[in-house]
Amino acid sequence: MKKNPVIPYLLIMVFGLALVFFFSIKGVGDAKQVAKEKESPKQTQTADSGKFDPESFAKKTCATCHGNNLQGAVGPNLHGVGKKLSKDKIKDVLKNGTSGGMPAGLVEADHIDEMADWVSKLK
């Protein structure tokens, strides 16, 4: 007696359709969550003190391109950048980005001075 070779394909198709349906329903719920997050302002402050912490901000935001220890990865090494660039130039880069890939506006305008000061002191 031969088994029908179509049955495994039908099972895979049913399983795939069920996954598509599940992820569609999940996506609707996630879309509502994303909309709520967009309505509330970004939190760049630490939960404890309510004060901006450049180091924790760098670990969350800058480490993606500059490496876990800001030693350089896709972006350049940030250690010793204070010797190469003035604090005003660092502020300009944080505010306007660069043509080399640094995006503009990662640091809120209220915290650019603190972030530039912290970056300039990295050794």
Q: Which residues are annotated as a binding site?
A: 62, 65-66, 102
Q: Which residue has the tokens 């967009």?
A: 38
Using left for φ > 0, alpha for ψ between -120 and 50, and beta otherwise, residue 80 falls in left
Q: Give dist(CA 84, CA 97) in Å, integer.
A: 17
Binding residues for heme c: 62, 65-66, 102
Evaluate whether 75 touches 102 at the Cβ level (below 8 Å): yes
Would you state the structure tokens that stand for residue 77, as one six-digit string? Answer: 């090494």
Please state, as a whole number, how many other Cβ atoms lie within 10 Å of the Cβ of residue 58. Answer: 19
Q: Which residue has the tokens 């402050």?
A: 45
Using left for φ > 0, alpha for ψ between -120 and 50, and beta otherwise, residue 59 falls in alpha
